[in-house]
Amino acid sequence: MEINERFPWAAAIIAPKPTSVLLEIGCGAGLLTGLIADKLTTGSITGIDQSHPMIRMATQRNQAAVSSGKAAFQTGSFAKMEFPDHTFDKVFAFNVNFFWKQPAKELQLISQCLKRKGELFVFYQTPGGIDRKLCESIKTRLEENGFRVSDTLFGQFSVSAAFCIIAKPPASLPRN
């Protein structure tokens, strides 16, 4: 199966260490999860998605990583998920719509499950190219919720373009 060029681009930006503990929100069929799981040794990646069929596909596609304990998949809404505090080195999402809506609850959950030096990666690819207005709107929502935007990256692909906003969690929360 051919993988959309946005996924290797995103995996390179996320750049997990072999020991990283990661969370992908809206993992879909597990394409990006699979690229990242291949880079892990003692680390792990958890992919969540609201769609049961997508989670089935992701689990099947990444069966070796699941069997080895490098990958796990869960069905459900991120807003209703519970993860131990300060678990993840990196949290990422591609085209997940709560970031441009009213994401206060979800961003609070991300804040709680990210480690102190953790990072959040918000990726978007739109059919018409880079939507700078959407990019700025997401950055504003992140900042309104205490995240510190550290970088914004842009990628141009044969089909379209994408952006990635990288942010650090709020510094005011007690963390390990």
CATH number at residue 114: 3.40.50.150
- The parent domain of residue 147 ranges over 6-13+21-168
**Per-residue b or e along 30-65, where b marks 16 or more CB atoms closer than 10 Å to that residue's CB:** bbbbbbbbebbeebbbbbbbeeeebbebbbebbeeb
Q: Is the pLDDT of residue 175 over 60?
A: no
Rounded to two decimals, the pTM is 0.92
Residue 143 lies in a domain: yes
Domain membership flag for residue 109: yes
| Counted domains in the chain | 1
With respect to residue 45, please indicate whether it lies within any of the assigned structural domains. Answer: yes
Fill in the amino acid letter for 75.
T
Q: Which residues contact 132 (CB under 8 A, 6 or more apart)?
A: none
pLDDT, tens digit (0-9, with 9 covering 90-100), for 120-136: 999 998 777 778 888 99
Residue 67 belongs to a domain: yes
**pLDDT one-digit tens code per residue, 109-118:** 999 999 989 9
Question: Is the residue at 78 inside a domain?
Answer: yes
Answer whether residue 76 shows pLDDT above 70: yes
